[in-house]
Amino acid sequence: MASAIDELPSSLEMVKDDVIRWRRHLHRNPELFFEEEETSRFVYDTLQQFAGLEVSRPTKTSVLARLTGGFPGPVLALRADMDALPIQEETVFEFASRVPGKMHACGHDGHTAILLGTARVLAQVRERIHGEVRFIFQHAGELHPGGARDLVEAGVMEWVDGVVGLHLWSPLPVGQIGLKAGAVLAAPDEFFITIRGRGGHAAQPEVLVDPIVTAAQVVINLQHVVSRQTDPLEPVVLSVTQFHAGTAHNVIPPKVEINGTVRTFNPALRAEVPRLMERVIRGVTAAHGADYELRYEEGYNPVINDGPITARVREVLIQAFGANAVREARPHMGGEDFSAYQAVCPGTFFYVGCSDPEKGHCPHHHPLFTINEESLAVGVKAFIHIALRLPGEDAL
Ligand code: NI
């Protein structure tokens, strides 16, 4: 009797067009984080058409499907995020966003379609699956505190032995897959600084405390935290991304608002950076007679891939795609709430190349972002091989 893996090529071919169609439907109708009502309804209705799945709604804007195999075994969770971004799309595809100011500019439409395709193929070979496969269609990957935390709280990870997620990745050409054990995505924290001076007439700076000049010094000196005060072998990014002040050319304003992000992998360094920042801010503002407030908010935890699962997934992907297609991923200072699942059980998060080798790549979160849709079939094939091989071989 042929194994489920042997029958995959025809199943994949059958589902390929549907996956593209689902992705385009989602792309046309993007919804932002925590608002994925139509998206989750579409996912729920589509999953209902596949026999053998137990489909539920753990939260208002998420969907969970459970598939119990014909053999005993562990529980594997596969995850897709479903949210779009507040970006005005500038592509001219016939399936471009119909919603002004909202766009699937990170590829989450593709993730959702890939997981739907995976569920459809696996449901067809349910009898030959070991253990249980859980399909997690998650809301709000793009905005802290993220949807993963809600889903963990709602119990979707109960009894799960391993969790695997993927991201379509435009720095990699289609056909290539990147993965890596250890730290792959950073902890994205956010800071808010208010510098208060004493505002007044711009012609009389000597009787005022100019918060703009002081805040400009703060921004410059904060760059020294990374370049002079932290270990050069430990990655850290400190970016000031907003600087707001003033209303007129002849008025020195009373305050400046600064906002930005800090990215780290190392937990000790993560805890240390706000202290180093505050020392700089305190010193610079004191030198200029200004006051300050610093608010520092921790974002997602870093994504740290489990060694044994990552090694096993690598073997499975090499068997499925060949050694030349599977590369060691580069860590990235972006953030992902996939880490919330990894806090509960071992897991790995990998990248599926999605750029067109001829046209080069457009960065994620860009108004012209798009994917080469061949990458969708790569994602489905990867997830299916992982779901069929990992549990059956007691790798979880
Ligand atoms: Ni993303």
Cα–ligand 1 centroid distance for 80 (angstroms) = 10
Cα–ligand 1 centroid distance for 351 (angstroms) = 11
CATH of the domain spanning 8-184+302-392: 3.40.630.10
Answer whether 158's CB lies under 8 Å from 136's CB. Answer: no
Q: Where are the domains of the chain?
A: 8-184+302-392, 187-297
Q: Which residues of the chain have pLDDT under 50?
A: 1
Cα–ligand 1 centroid distance for 109 (angstroms) = 10
Cα–Cα distance, 337 to 267 (Å, whole number): 16
pLDDT of residue 1: 44
Cα–ligand 1 centroid distance for 128 (angstroms) = 32
Residue 331 phi, psi dihedral angles, 5° rounding: -60, 155
pLDDT of residue 396: 65
Alpha carbon separation from 135 to 45, 59, 60, 79, 226 (Å, rounded): 14, 14, 16, 6, 40
At 99-117, the pLDDT tens digits run 999 999 999 999 999 999 9
pLDDT of residue 233: 95
Cα–ligand 1 centroid distance for 344 (angstroms) = 21
At 353-378, the pLDDT tens digits run 999 988 888 899 999 999 999 999 99
Cα–ligand 1 centroid distance for 97 (angstroms) = 17
pLDDT of residue 360: 80
- Entry pTM: 0.92
CATH topology of domain 187-297: Alpha-Beta Plaits (3.30.70)
Which has the closest alpha carbon to 299: 191, 193, 187? 187
Cα–ligand 1 centroid distance for 167 (angstroms) = 7
